[in-house]
């Protein structure tokens, strides 16, 4: 039985640092490093979960190209089940260039590629039937899957008795709730970043954001607050809980931080932890992510993360 099946974006990440300014057209700028990593919300979460020790599958689409070969090889090495990963001969593998500045913050240049073609008819439900939790990652960056197709998948997962979880990405097209609304009645756990939650809800107060998500049908809400930790709320009737981030962590690269939080949270849920315990674990996994370059590089087995938590009580 799989602990978690992740559905969503799969990306080859070219990460370069340190980039504090862009050279003028025709000019050359030197950087400290330029490396190729696995990336994309769903892939990063799946690899992180596998590194923590969870049984994980990834469903998505790559191209029949060099980046696709790299991704499949990395997933095989990580022990992620790729029965649901489709290979397209018509679309290139999605790729990003991440520019990391001296503060560890990153800016992305992104090509949708195969992620733009993936839709609900590509989903292998025989894989989902083996999973306790179904996690949709990268909503707003899957134009053929977002909205009604995603809602159909979540609804069917609910019928199959699965726990459904959805994380979002920044919507450069400004559609926000128009895309998310059909999905919300079928989401057990909604885990946006605070910046995304602000755009979805149209307000500034975190508790009010959660209220609006509950009113749309979401069962539970977790809002990622970046370096401030996270906000966790079981239901509309209950008070929310703020959980601070772990202190004394030097961020060298925030790429994949939100996905690693989700991985920690999902590991907790799939291993009998409650929402607050799972979110604390999410904060700890996120802390490990930002301490290394790459979306998944810094993630350690659960036993090591637990030891870190015990030595860094917050």
147's tokens: 């909205």
- What is the CATH number assigned to the segment(s) 9-20+34-305? 3.40.1190.20
Residue 64 is given by DSSP the state S
Q: What is the DSSP letter of 29?
A: -
The CA distance from 255 to 107, in Å, is 9
> Could you check whether the bond before residue 49 is cis, i.e. omega within 30 degrees of 0?
no
User: Degrees (nearest 5) of the Cα angle 122, 12, 118?
Assistant: 15
* pLDDT digit string, tens, across residues 18-34: 999 999 999 999 999 99
pLDDT category at 173 given cuts 50, 70, 90 is very high
Q: Is 290 helix (H, G, I), strand (E, B) or coil?
A: helix
pLDDT tens, position by position, 230-258: 999 999 999 999 999 998 888 887 878 99
Higher pLDDT, 32 or 98: 32
Task: Output the pTM of the full model.
Answer: 0.91
The rounded radius of gyration (Å) of the Cα atoms in the chain is: 18
Does residue 312 surpass a pLDDT of 70? yes
Look up residue 224 and give its two tokens: 């990622």
Inform me whether the pLDDT recorded for 130 exceeds 70: yes
- Whole-number percent of the chain with pLDDT over 90: 86
Task: Give the residue carrying structure tokens 């025709």.
Answer: 26
Answer yes or no: are the C-beta atoms of 245 and 288 closer than 8 Å.
Answer: no
For residue 134, say if its preceding peptide bond is cis, omega within 30 degrees of 0. Answer: no
Tell me what pLDDT residue 84 has.
97
Q: What is the pLDDT, as a whole number, of residue 105? A: 82
pLDDT of residue 87: 97
Of 222, 269, 262, 225, residue with least CA distance to 244:
225
Q: What confidence score (pLDDT) does residue 314 get?
A: 67
Whether 5 and 111 have beta carbons less than 8 Å apart is answered as no
State the greatest distance between any 2 C-alpha atoms of the chain, in Å, as a whole number.
58
Beta carbons within 10 angstroms of residue 244's beta carbon = 13
d(C-alpha 272, C-alpha 188), whole Å: 16
């Amino acid at each position: 039985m799989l602990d978690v099946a992740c559905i969503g974006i799969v990306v080859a990440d070219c990460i370069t640092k340190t980039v504090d300014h862009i050279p003028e057209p025709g000019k050359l700028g030197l950087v400290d490093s330029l490396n190729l990593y696995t990336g994309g919300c769903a892939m990063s979460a799946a690899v992180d979960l596998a590194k923590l020790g969870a049984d994980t599958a990834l469903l998505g689409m790559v191209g029949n190209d060099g980046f696709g070969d790299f991704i499949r090889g990395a997933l095989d090495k990580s022990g992620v089940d790729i029965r649901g990963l489709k290979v397209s001969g018509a679309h290139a593998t999605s790729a990003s260039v991440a520019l990391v500045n001296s503060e560890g913050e990153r800016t992305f240049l992104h090509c949708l590629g195969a992620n733009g073609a993936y839709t609900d008819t590509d989903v292998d439900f025989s894989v989902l039937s083996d999973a306790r939790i179904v996690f949709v990652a990268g909503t707003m960056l899957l134009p053929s899957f977002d909205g009604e197709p995603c809602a159909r998948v979540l609804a069917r997962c609910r019928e199959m008795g699965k726990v459904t979880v959805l994380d979002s990405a920044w919507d450069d097209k400004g559609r926000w709730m128009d895309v998310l609304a059909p999905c919300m009645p079928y989401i057990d756990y909604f885990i946006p970043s605070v910046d995304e939650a602000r755009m979805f809800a149209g307000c500034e107060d975190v508790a009010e954001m959660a209220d609006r998500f509950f009113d749309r049908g979401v069962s539970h809400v977790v809002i990622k607050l970046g370096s401030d930790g996270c906000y966790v709320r079981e239901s509309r009737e209950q008070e929310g809980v703020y959980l601070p981030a772990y202190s004394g962590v030097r961020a060298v690269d925030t790429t994949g931080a939100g996905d690693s939080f989700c991985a920690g949270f999902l590991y907790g849920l799939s291993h009998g932890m409650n929402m607050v315990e799972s979110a604390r674990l999410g904060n700890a996994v996120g802390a490990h992510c930002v301490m290394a370059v790459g979306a998944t590089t810094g993630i350690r087995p659960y036993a090591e993360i637990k030891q870190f938590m015990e030595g860094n009580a917050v």
